[in-house]
Every structure is written in C-alpha cells, then in structure tokens.
Structure 1
C-alpha cells in the first residue's frame, strides 16, 4: 500500500509526468526503430528472393538456348547442358515455391511445377523427337519463360511497394514527434505555466496588501499544490505579522506620548498629595469633618492619579531588562502570593497546575510578575464570589505556555480585537485605566513571546502566555500576537 501511494505521488508530480512522457517517447522510438529494422530486413529478404528469381529465369533461358542448339546442331552435349540448367531451374523453383505460393497461390505453384516438368520431359526427348514433339517443347519452354517473367515483374512490384512504405517511415517519425511535442506542451502549460501564472497573480495581490488565502482547487500536481499551500501559510503569517506590527507601532506611538505626559503631571500630583497630607497633619484639628473628608478624597484621588502615572511609565518603558533563566512555577507562585489575601477576601479559589519540571524560561522576574498580577487581577474582577481561577502550565515546543482562566461572564466578540489596545476597557468609569493588558502585551513582546485569548460570553475568559525557553529563542526580538 505504501509503495502504491508513493508511486501515485510520484506520477502526480511534475517530474513523474515528465518521466512518463519521456518513457512513452523512448518506447515509441524503440517501436519505430524495431519497425524500421523489420522493414529493412523484409526488403533485404525480398531482394535476395529477387536474385533467386533472376537465377530461375536465367536457368530457363539457358535451357532454351541449348534447346535451340540441340534442334539446329543436335548432339548429346547440348542435351546434357540443357538438362543441367533445367535442374538448376528446378532447384531455384524449390527455394521459391513458398514465396510463389504467397504471390500466385497454390494453383500458381502447381501450374509452374507442371509446366517445368513437362518442358523437362519434352527437352529430354528432343534428340530423336518428331517435328510435332519439337513444337510441344518450344511451346512449353516459351510458356515457362513467360511465367518466370511474370513472377519477376510481380516480385519487383512488391519490392517497390515495400521501398515506398519504408520511405514513409521518416514521415511517421515526424508525426509521432509532433504529437509528443503537442502533449508535452499541453502538460507544461497545464502543470507549470497556468499554476505559475496563478502564483504570479497571487504574489501581485500580496504585494498590494491582500493576504487572503487562495483555494488550491485540489490541484493534482504535487509541487504546485505544495507551493499554493505554502503561499497560503505565508499569507496567513503575513496577516498576523501585519496586525502585530500595527499593534506594536500603536503602542510605541502612545508610549512616547504617555511618557511625556506622565513626567509632566507627576510633579503636580506629588505636590497635591504632599499639600493634602500637610493640611491634615498641621491643620487637621482645626478642620471640621467635611473638610477632613475633602482632604482625604484629595489624597485618594492623588494616589489614584499616581497609580495611573506609574502604569503610564511602565507602559512606555523601553529599556532592556536583564533576563535570566526562571522556573515557570516560581514565577506563577510568587505572583499568586502577592494577591493571595485579596483573592481570599473576594471569596475566590485559585487552582494551580504548573508542573515544577517545566523547562526554564528566559525573562525578568519583576516584569513577569507584573504580567501575571495584571492577568490575575483582571480574572479576580471578572469572577463572581465563590468562583475559581485556574492557572496552568504546559510545554509548547520551543515555548512554555502559562494560562490564566477565570469563570466570569466572558468578553463580547466585538471587544476581543481591542482588549490589548491602550486605554481600552470594558469596566465602569473609574474602575480601570485600560492600560493593564496593554502593559502586559508590551512586556511579553519584549520577552520574545506572545499572548493569546479565548473567550465566550457566559463561559469565562482564558489568557495564554507563551514564553520562549531559556537558550532556545532570542529574547526581545519576537512578535507578540493576539488571537481572538
């Protein structure tokens, strides 16, 4: 079965079709060559038979000559010579009897044999024959000469016909060659030129920014089908990379803007906070309850503004962090430990399934803790009291995949493409800045990894973080991707 499948694949490939065409051409050339050899052999055989017919005719003519000498001059010498030539004629006839049968049929063979035997009898009796018997001998001899001449004429006509047929062989060669070339051109046009033209159209479309996949149409040519599949994979990867590039440029532009804004407003926020603290410390006793409440609100809002500034600075951070091999379970457990009390207060259960024997990842512990803190905080805010959050880890080829799954209400499909965009949030006003996932995306990108999300309304949300294994992938050069 495997051998049959390999043969099927081979004959469906371009090299298989070319091999088949040349094999057919070779067999056709061999057949024509054998036909040519057979025809030439037949011509040579007929020429040899023609020589024997000439021998037959010559022997009969010589016998007629000695018949004339015997009738004019007499003598036993002419009789013996004539009978000797008739014996030669008989021998030549015996050799040619089968061929004469093919030309004249069995009746022609019997007629010639009977005439030759009659002439021999009449010739042998010429020495002491009467005039009437001499006329019989002359008549039989003349008829025998005429029959030999007819056989020679028929044989020469057949030889000329065979030579004419042989002369047609080059035209047959030419015709077969033209048919072979037509088939070869068709195969090349269908198997190569047409798919190449289609590939040219596809690449031109890709150059214009259209990366939609192309239906290969179940193409039977193995190489062409493989090339079309490769082009489709390339188009899909280009689409994903284009989206990543657009996201990266968007983050870079916003990072530059937010960094400047954060630095500009950080000092005023600090001054506001210090002034409010000084007011409460120095003049707190002189303030009534409403004034102290207002001062407290000022401090709370200043702290919130400071948190926003810190998020902006983290989002715009571009310096290259120091990476080291980290155990994935240590990264996850240390991040969970920072939120353990908050999760207990919220009535949530967290389940960890991160094997300690997973390969180490290359990263910065503080930055990765921030990633999982953001994901865990989002999961805690989305999960109702009594719900669970699952954190798991598994091997994924050159990456380690760490997932955070909540049991909340999920994310609407129309919001999924935007969740990693800066300042995008589905929370109520005042409940979030929309920078947490953008910062997470940026950090994972700097680690050479990617983040994916799966969510269905009412079924919860799962984030999958892919981090390159230590020593297996260059850090800081990978592209993060979002899949919704």
Structure 2
C-alpha cells in the first residue's frame, strides 16, 4: 500500500483520483455543450433577426412604394448601400426622427423587432440554463452516488469487522485517495481481525492450560491427602511411615515435573520464551541428551547407538532447549522399547537442512494414533508411566527453531522420529505453531 507522506494534495495528485478526473470531464463536457448551445443560438437568433429586419424594411419600402412608386428603386438602393451612407446623413436622419420622439431613450417595446428578440433571448437563455443545470445535476449525482456508495461499503464492512468479527466480504481496489483510504481500512480490518483471533486463541489457551493443570494435579493431590491422613494416625509402624513418606516424595516430584513441563509448554505456545539460537555443535547436543537418559536406558539394558558422520556438525540452535527436545524423544523411545533392546540415533546433513533420526524397536504406533500423539496428555497406550507431555514439548521446541518433527512406522518394527532443522532458520510465527 502506498504510504501517505503528507496531507497536501497537488493538482497532479488530485487528478489521480477517479472522482476528480470524472468531475473534470463533466466540467469540460458542460463547457463544450454550453459553447455549442451558444453558437447554435447565436446563429439561430442572427438568422431570425435578419428575417424580421428584412420584413420590417420590406414593409417600409412597400408603404413608400405605394405612395411614391417612382422613387421605390432609389429607396431600395439606399437600403442596399447602407454601409456607404455618410455620418452627416445619419445625423440628419436622427434629427428628423427626434422631431417625432424616436430617440435612444424610447422603450424597447416600441421597436417590435428588437422587443421580440429580447423576449425570445431571455426565454431561450433560461431554458438553456435549466437544461445545463439538469444535465450537470444528473452527472454530479451519478458520480457522487458511486463515490459515496464505496465509502458506505467500507464503513459497513468495517462495522461488521468491529462489532461482529466478520471478515471483509471483498477488497476494494481503486486509485487516488479513496484507494488509499480503502487499503488502509482493509489493512486495519485485517489487523483488527487477527488481533481478535489472537486474543481468542490466548483466552482459549489459558482456559485449556488451567483445565489441564487442575486435571493433572488432581490425582497426585488426592494421593498426597490420603498419605498425609494415614501418617497423621498412630497405628503405622516406622516402616510403613517411611514407605508413605517416600510415596509422598514421589508424588511431589511428579507434581513438580508436571507443573514445570506445563509452564514450559505454556511459555512456548504463548511465545513468551526467548531462545538463544546460535551456531553450535549439534553432535555435542545429541551426546549431552544421550548422557541425560543413560541411567534410564541402563535400567532396561537398552543400548543407545549414535551415528555421527562428521566430527563436528555446526547448526543454528539453542543447545539447552534442543537437548530437552531430544531427551524427551529418547525417553519415549526407551519407554516403548523392550528390555535388552536398541535405540539408534543418526544425523544427516544436506545443503538445505539437518535431520536427526531416533529409531526404536518397540511395539510401534498404531496408524490411528499418529495424528494425535503430539497433543497434550494424549497416550497411545496404557503402557509406560508418561502423562503425554514429552512429545508435545519436543514438537513445540523444534517448531520454535523453524524445524519439523514427524513420526513414521519403522518397517522392521518400532517407530522412527524425524527431527528436521533448516540450516538457516526463520523465526517461527506463533499463529502457525501446531495446536497441541
């Protein structure tokens, strides 16, 4: 959209407006029409005046010819050669006319030819002005009506956006100041609608987050209440008391992990988390993630194999957050792998992206669960102790890096997670993040 630098409008800029151009065309048309009517009426009046003057002269000559037929030819010569009459002759004739009261002060009505000409001229001029006024009024109404109709359409569309949160039904493309106003109004409407939708998403997200937290904390809180009630009694021996205290500690740790994970997800989805994405060695990030889950893998005697084709693989990422995403993927792979199994981690780099694969030989994921496994609190099976937050958190972190996290079935059994990171990531738009 063209930016309005100043409020001043010059003549050239004024003519860029269709309304101003059409108004100019109307004025030119009216001027040409008026000039044509004036020329036509001048010619018509001159011809009419000539005929009436000749009739008057003919009447005078006819009367003189009746009384003095011998001088008729001579008088006709005087009329035909009126341009050659001297000023003295004119003055002599004027003095003669003054004797009978025929002077320039005499009213026009005593001169029938001139009187008729004046009366007809007045009526024709009035009629011409009325015709021009009607034509000008109709043209101006037609042009102004179309102009105001566009402004009215913009006003109605903007009112629908503001009051009813409805999108603008169409876009108005026009030139000049109205086009600037239309574009500005439409941009304002789009931004307003996006803001309203963003507020609605944030409100829905807040309600969902609060509901998720309350739902997930309800069970451990109930367990803690029971354990505390039992510990307050006097019938427990020290061994059972120690067991219940250990269970309380376990539930508290679970609540702490659950709360922190939900807060991380909330900050990621609300775009309230600033990542320090910079060039770093992805191999080292993967090794740190594997070290974090080594104890969990050893408990099931699972071998984690890392395939790193390059000694150093520099990729733009936040090592701390991407490590957490990889840890969650590894925990999921270990949890669904059988004892004495294997989890493979491989890296691949192309001129466009870097891909990390995590492959397990577990029971795999049913095809009907694949579209939902990245949703919060979704569990594809009752096996395992997870609550369904690790994969959504990993996906949000990867998308914040401008990457993609996907899952596919392993042809030889198990599951393959693909983490694809661009070599030159773009900032992720929160509105485009996957709804978890």
TM range (shorter): 0.5 to 0.7
**Cα 1:85–1:63 shift into 2, 3 Å:** farther
Q: Which residue of 2 aligns with 1:54?
A: 53
1:241-290 deviation per Cα after TM superposition (whole angstroms, max 9, x unaligned): 6445543565467669959x79x97xx99xxxxxxxxx9xxxxxxxxxxx
SS at match of 1:315: helix
Q: Which residue of 2 aligns with 1:327?
A: 279
Equivalents in 2 of 1:467, 1:478: separation in Å? 20
> What is the TM-score of this pair, normalised by structure 2?
0.52
Equivalents in 2 of 1:322, 1:43: separation in Å? 83
Instruction: Note if 1:180 corresponds to 2:139.
Output: yes
Aligned with 1:193 (options 152, 160, 164): 152
Equivalents in 1 of 2:274, 2:183: separation in Å? 46
Equivalents in 1 of 2:302, 2:280: separation in Å? 26
Equivalents in 1 of 2:151, 2:354: separation in Å? 43
Shift in Å, 1:370: 1.8
Shift in Å, 1:374: 0.9
SS at match of 1:431: coil
Q: Which residue of 1 aligns with 2:327?
A: 373
Where do 5+ consecutive residues of structure 1 fail to align? 1-14, 72-78, 94-151, 207-212, 270-278, 280-294
Equivalents in 2 of 1:386, 1:450: separation in Å? 30
SS at match of 2:286: helix
Q: Which residue of 2 aligns with 1:126?
A: none
**Which residues in structure 2 correspond to 1:5-404 (within 5 Å)?**
19-48=17-46, 50=49, 54=53, 57-58=56-57, 61=60, 65=64, 68=67, 83=73, 85-90=75-80, 164-184=123-143, 186-188=145-147, 190-206=149-165, 214=167, 216=169, 221=173, 231=189, 235=193, 238-239=196-197, 242-248=200-206, 250-251=208-209, 308=254, 311-312=257-258, 314-315=260-261, 326-330=278-282, 332-338=285-291, 345=302, 358-359=315-316, 365-378=319-332
Shift in Å, 1:373: 1.1
Equivalents in 2 of 1:393, 1:235: separation in Å? 41
**Cα 1:22–1:366 shift into 2, 3 Å:** closer
Aligned residues: 354
**Structure with bigger gyration radius:** 1
Q: 8 Å contact 2:293–2:330 — kept in the other structure?
A: no
Q: Which has the higher helix share?
A: 1
Equivalents in 1 of 2:116, 2:375: separation in Å? 96
Equivalents in 2 of 1:327, 1:191: separation in Å? 53
**Cα RMSD for the two superposed structures:** 6.5
> What is the TM-score of this pair, normalised by structure 1?
0.48
SS at match of 2:328: helix
SS at match of 1:168: helix
Q: 8 Å contact 1:441–1:480 — kept in the other structure?
A: no
**Cα 1:373–1:455 shift into 2, 3 Å:** closer
**Cα 1:25–1:379 shift into 2, 3 Å:** farther
